[in-house]
Structure 1
Amino acid sequence: MIYHWKTNIIKRHFIHSLILIIPILLGSCTTQKTEVSISSGSNGSGYQKISSQIKLSANSIGQIEVTDNYDSQGSQQNLERLLNREVDFAIVQLDVASEPMREGKVKTLLVLTQEYLHIVTKDDNDIKTLADLQGKRVIIGAEGSGIYFTAKRIFEASNINVNEVKSNEKRLEKLINSEIDAFVYVGPLATSEKFQKELHQAPRLRFIPINPSLINYLTIQFPESYQGKIIPQGTYKPLPQLPNQDLLTISTPGALITRPDVNKRKVSLLTWAIISNFRQYSPFYPELASQQNASLLSEGLIYIHPGAQQVFNDGDPRVAWQRYLQENKPLQAAFIMLVSTSSLGFLISWWRKRKQNNLLKANLQTIPELRQLLDNNPQKATEEIENLRQKYRLMLIDGKVSPEVYEQIEKMTQIFSEQCKRWQEKQKELSYNQILQLMDQWEQQMPEHFLSKYEQLESSHNQYKEMLKSGKLDLQTYLQMIQLTFVFSNSFSLNTAKDNKNNFSN
């Protein structure tokens, strides 16, 4: 009856603990999908393709759903929609978003591509530098696009006035027919199918380099927006080479951005969805294909949303409740009190006690095994017991063994360690006594049994060599034994020579 009464009490405590704990866990591990919206680009554009990949990434983690029904002209229109709260996220060139970032209106999540500045002209004209475009007819992209924004900034920064053609339509055809002198394109390196097709259709084209002084100015004025880059020789055409040499230009990151007030969990989930599938973005960011991790996705970012930063620091946000418990000291204290006053606490305490008892049992079994080794190899036994003591010291430091159990184990191992040392000293003493006994016998029986005593010394020498090999003697003791046998050998040789001399004289 008493047994059943105690069992029922434990059951009630256990159920009560579960009732308190389960809502905490379930509240943190909800499976309800979070919906987010993204403004990307026109159908078939690079931004639209990146957005499609983001959808696939979101589906792979199962807790977030992405909608993208926002046909756009590009970066400027995407940024405007984000600021007007029409969408949660936008894909934008960071030079377009630089001013709102500095004002704290937008935050970054990830870099999804690097967009290079290309200024394209015909190979047979006299336009060789950026300054040669002064007064020329140049297509600078459609208003609302990132190309338009970057082109305007480049020409304003370099004090070059061009006849602006605000369009992207039939730009190659117009260049070939000399209706324009050049056009500007900003996009990932050699990944835009449309741009690649245009370059292969044209007979001979040239890229115009950006001079280093302009690059220095832009990277100092807008460090969050621009980097100096090289377009390698032959990137777009092997024959004739396009460009015909390594070309200096600038790039700006194409990034996923959001507002500071967007829910932190939304940001964390979307960031993790992309990071956990980072290789899938290599068509838009080729360098990712050879990377071991997703570090390039955050390279150069300054104004990072806290939700994205949390993922960079801690990883998967779906287990954030565990980190929250680790970092929240009051919650830890409440949880410990709950555990210690419930049957769950009783079970944990029982498990820990059992684990400590198992350590004691293991130690009790190990020492008799080492004691058997002591008779044949005291040096090895000493090494093993010291290693065992060191192991338990480290377990104490790591908290894997309680101080009480460690103290018991240390007493047992220390006693055995002292036995090993005494046994080694005893063996040394026996070895010395054996040598001294041989010396006495040698002196008493000299010269009648020179040969037999010499053979005994040699036998002892071999015996000590075997004891050294088996670990029964340490090196210092062995060397002392060898020295003694060497002295006896010399004494024997001298006496033998003396005896031979006397015999010869007689």
Structure 2
Amino acid sequence: MRKAIFWVAIILLITATFLGCSGLSLWSNAENGSGPKNTNSSTTREAVTILTGGTSGVYFPLGGALAEIYHRNLNVAVSFQSTGASAENCYKLARGKGELAFAMADTVSDAYYGQGRFEGKPLTNIRGLSAMYSNYLHLITTKDKGIASLADIRGKRVAVGAHGSGTEINAKRVLIAAGLTYDDIEEHFLSFAEAIQGLRDETIDVAVLSSGIPNIAVSKLAAEKQLVLIPVSHKIITKLQEVSPAYTDVIIPGATYPGVDTNIATVGVKNLIVTREELSEEFVYKLTKVIFENTDFLRSTHAAADNILLDTAVEGMPIPLHQGAERYYREMGVLEPQVSP
């Protein structure tokens, strides 16, 4: 498993110690030393707040890496925040509480078009910046619970994600597709870290996590307890696709986690970086460009970033791109050049 590079560890330590895991600010005067390459000498004075997710997930370290990239390449004040992830991030972004946000494609689609928990309240000012890696739905239990399928979770204590999070949206939809509702389980609205601790302390029976792979917290737990990953069948995923085309069949390969040696079928959904319409075309162009000039640095943070590729940057994007991102992708040949009328 790839280890986070030194500065990320320091950021996480400082964040957890001094800010209660809520976030960290990096200022614009980049220091000399190791890190992402500095390819931009812009004198623009703007600020970037990056909305991530729980500290045990993938969004948080990637948000820290992205903050470092902007810190070193653009003359901006940068901060990144731990949040409840996708749904909360869409709300905050639309209300001007951030400039960039990580979110799952199904939640972003719901937010923009006013569906699901956003029914009647579309967030029409959010815009796409880039597609990233896929999230894999983890339905985790321990072998001693005797749970092997979704049918077995009836009556069990299930951590379904933080209330209103992208994970919770996924969990509820998977349950419905499997013929279950919250009335059939004892639902617990817990963050990634709380859900893992619940499995560790045996205060819950099943934890639902939506994450890139490998998830560090799951790997650590697998070193302590014998885990079981509950599969999600193609039949259930077909039902999910009737709700949103963002859902796909994916496999968590065997040996991704200690003691789980077989391939596990589950549901996948793309993760996105989104922004808001009000930001200038030039600024978003720079934000997009700097990401793809520093992908090696992102990949040194987490293996999930291996799938952040220019060629697939617009795949699975369910909402309009920001004009600045679109301009960059047209320049790079990812999108066809715009033809003047």
Q: Normalized against structure 1, the TM-score is what?
A: 0.51
Give the deviation of 1:85 after TM superposition: 1.7
Structure 2 CA distance for partners of 1:218 and 1:42, relative to 1, 3 Å: closer
Aligned AA for 1:128? A
Seq. identity, %: 23
Structure-1 residue corresponding to 2:327: 310
Equivalent position SS for 1:201: coil
* Contact map agreement 1:188 1:284 (CA 8 A) in 2: no
Question: 2: CA distance between counterparts of 1:176 and 1:42?
Answer: 18
Shift of the 46–54 alpha-carbon distance from structure 1 to 2, 3 Å rule, reads same
Describe the shift of the 1:212–1:45 C-alpha distance in structure 2 as closer, same or farther (beyond 3 A).
Answer: closer
**Contact persistence 2:255–2:262 (CA under 8 A):** yes
1:250, distance to aligned residue in structure 2 (A) = 1.1
Q: Determine the C-alpha separation between the residues in 2 that align with 1:236 and 1:150.
A: 22
Structure 2 partner of 1:503: none
Shift of 1:305: 2.1
What is the CA-CA distance between 1:253 and the residue it aligns to?
Answer: 2.0
Matching residue within 107, 126, 129 for 2:149: 129
1:154 to 167, 174, 180: 174
CA contact (8 A) 1:188 1:285 kept: no
Q: Which has the higher strand share?
A: 2
* Equivalent position amino acid for 1:226 in 2: Y
Decide which structure has greater helix share. 1
Instruction: Tell me, in whole angstroms, the C-alpha distance in 2 between the residues paired with 1:128 and 1:43.
Output: 28
Matched, 1:205 2:221: no
- In 2, Cα distance between equivalents of 1:283 and 1:216: 35
1:209 alignment partner, SS class: coil
**Structure 1 residues 217-251: Cα deviation after superposition (integer angstroms, max 9, x where no partner):** 2234312x3221101111111xxx31x31111012
Q: Distance in 2 between matches of 1:146 and 1:49?
A: 18
Q: Distance in 1 between matches of 2:45 and 2:88?
A: 28
Structure 2 counterpart of 1:183: 207
Inter-CA distance 45–80: structure 2 relative to 1 (3 Å threshold): same
Q: Distance in 2 between matches of 1:289 and 1:88?
A: 24
Aligned to 2:279: 262
Q: Please list, as runs of the form range in 1=range in 2, the aligned pairs for 1:187-336 lying within 5 A after superposition.
A: 187-190=211-214, 192-202=215-225, 204-223=226-245, 225-237=246-258, 241-242=259-260, 244-282=261-299, 286=303, 289=306, 294-303=310-319, 304-315=321-332
Q: For 1:454-498, what per-residue CA distance to the aligned partner results, in whole angstroms no more than 9, with x for missing partners?
A: xxxxxxxxxxxxxxxxxxxxxxxxxxxxxxxxxxxxxxxxxxxxx
Q: CA deviation at 1:109?
A: 0.9
Residue 290 of structure 1: how far off its partner (Å): 8.4
2:70 to 46, 49, 58: 58
Unaligned runs of 5+ in 2: 1-40, 114-121
Alpha carbons 1:38, 1:66 under 8 Å: kept: no
Structure 1 residues 226 and 94: alpha-carbon distance in aligned structure 2, compared to 1, 3 A threshold: same
Looking at structure 1, the residues matched to 77 and 56 of structure 2 have their Cα atoms a distance apart, in angstroms, of 18
Deviation at 1:45, TM superposition (A): 5.0
Instruction: Report how far residue 258 of structure 1 moved.
Output: 1.7
Runs of 5+ consecutive residues of structure 1 not aligned to the other structure? 1-28, 317-322, 330-506
Q: Indicate how the Cα distance of structure 1 residues 78 and 273 shifts in structure 2: closer, same or farther if over 3 A, else same.
A: same
- Describe the shift of the 1:135–1:216 C-alpha distance in structure 2 as closer, same or farther (beyond 3 A): same
Query: Does the residue aligned with 2:92 lie in a helix, a strand or coil?
Result: helix
- Whether the 8 Å contact between 2:133 and 2:304 is mirrored in structure 1 is no
Q: Answer yes or no: is 1:36 the counterpart of 2:48.
A: yes
Q: Is the contact between residue 112 and residue 256 of structure 1 (CA under 8 Å) also seen in structure 2? A: yes
Q: Does the alignment pair 1:81 with 2:110? A: no
- 1:95 maps to 106
- Correspondence for 1:401: none
Specify the alignment match of 2:23 in structure 1.
none
- Provide the secondary structure at the position in 1 that maps to 2:48: strand
Shift of 1:125: 3.6
Separation (CA, whole Å) in 2 of partners of 1:275 and 1:264: 17
Structure 1 residues 395-437: Cα deviation after superposition (integer angstroms, max 9, x where no partner): xxxxxxxxxxxxxxxxxxxxxxxxxxxxxxxxxxxxxxxxxxx
Q: SS where residue 147 of structure 1 aligns?
A: helix
Closer, same or farther: CA 153–284 of 1 in aligned 2, 3 Å: farther
**Bigger mean CA offset, 273-282 vs 206-215:** 273-282
Q: Give the letter for the 1:53 counterpart.
A: A
- CA separation in 2, counterparts of 1:141 and 1:134? 17
Find the residue that maps to 2:313 and give its secondary structure. Answer: helix
**Larger gyration radius, structure 1 or structure 2:** 1
- Mapping of 1:445-456 within 5 angstroms? none
Alignment of 1:371-450 (within 5 A): none
What RMSD, in angstroms, separates the aligned Cα atoms of the two structures?
Answer: 3.1
Structure 2 counterpart of 1:10: none
8 Å CA contact 2:64, 2:80 repeated in 1: no
Cα gap change, 1:135/1:96 in structure 2, threshold over 3 Å: closer, same or farther? same
Aligned length: 284
Change (3 A) 1:112 1:156: same
In 2, are the aligned partners of 1:112 and 1:285 still within 8 Å (CA)? no
| Contact in 2 for aligned 1:57/1:277 (Cα 8 Å) | yes
Higher relative contact order (CA 8 A, sep 6+): 2
Q: Contact (CA 8 Å) 1:112, 1:284: kept in 2 or not?
A: no
CA distance in 1, matches of 2:305, 2:205: 35
